[in-house]
Every structure is written in structure tokens, then in C-alpha cells.
Structure 1
């Protein structure tokens, strides 16, 4: 049950982080106003997008996130197993 909670929280946080991206504007005029007022031009992000390397960055980040999530789930299982073993030893005394 704890594993499901951890997985649900991680999925919620990931969804929230991906949902915070600014929406694309419908007209060209609003796009110009939005980009000039809210965000400065980021040359590195544009270069990564043009070269296709942004996908490598995304894959690496997702791999690291998946590794951390896997580690947390396995750690939770080990702790649950130890808690159960400790509880059984306490009851048997």
C-alpha cells in the first residue's frame, strides 16, 4: 500500500511539473507579447531543440527519475519486510 502511495505521489508531481508549461497562444500578436514580456530568449534551449539534443536531456532526466523511483520502491519493500519481521519476533516472545 505504501508503494502505491509513493508511486501515486511521484506521478502527481510529475504531472504537475509537466502541466506548468505555458500554453501556446492562439494568435501571433499574443505570442509576441507573451514571449517578450514574460520570458527572455534562451539561446541554449533553442540550440538544443534545433540540434535534437533536447530529447537526450529529457531521456536522461526520465532515466534518473525512474532510477530514484525504483530505489524508493525497493527500499520501501525492504523496510516493510523488516517491520513485519520485527513485529513477528516481538509477538513470539
Structure 2
């Protein structure tokens, strides 16, 4: 189980390396409308159409599949290690 946690932490750290370069943008002026943030068109449209739930379901399915795959690989490797230790 420790190996699974370490592998997951490593994957998360690798996923976020280099994020600064990907998120770098030129500076923009901040206006009062930015603080109120009343209009987020993409989120509103996705909520109205019900597509946000599809996005959440797909993300949950992918994450669940990855976790299942990691656990199954960990079990197989542990079984092989025990077989060769005897």
C-alpha cells in the first residue's frame, strides 16, 4: 500500500512540474468586474445544458480506473515478490 501512495504522489508531482511555464501570461489590468465575477459564460452554459455532470463523471471514471489499475499492479508485483523471496 505504501508503494501505491508513493507512486500516486510521484505521479501528481510529475503532472505539476512545469506548470509555471504553461500558466505564464502577460499582466493584465484588474477591473472591478473581475472582483465581482458575476459572469462566467462557460460554466453557466455547461450547467444549463447539464454537461458539467458529464465532465465530472468522466473525470471520476478516469481517476477511478487509474486507481484500480495501480492497485491491481501493486497486488501482482507483491505476489511476484513473495514468490521469489521464498
Give the TM-score, by structure 1 length: 0.54
Query: How many Å apart are 1:42 and its aligned residue?
Result: 3.1
Aligned mates of 2:44, 2:80 — CA distance in 1:
50
CA distance in 2 between partners of 1:44 and 1:82 (Å) = 49
Task: Tell which structure's C-alpha radius of gyration is larger.
Answer: 1
Unaligned runs of 5+ in 2: 10-31
Unaligned runs of 5+ in 1: 11-32, 89-93
Take 2:84 and 2:38, find their aligned partners in 1: how far apart are those partners? 57
- Equivalent pairs counted in the alignment come to 62
Instruction: Report the CA distance between 1:37 and its aligned residue.
Output: 1.7
* Cα displacement (A) at 1:83: 0.7
Q: CA RMSD in A?
A: 3.0
What CA distance in whole angstroms lies between the structure 1 residues aligned with 2:84 and 2:35? 59
Per-residue Cα deviation, 1:13-44 (whole angstroms, up to 9, x for no partner): xxxxxxxxxxxxxxxxxxxx8x8327584321
Provide TM-score, normalisation by structure 2. Answer: 0.58
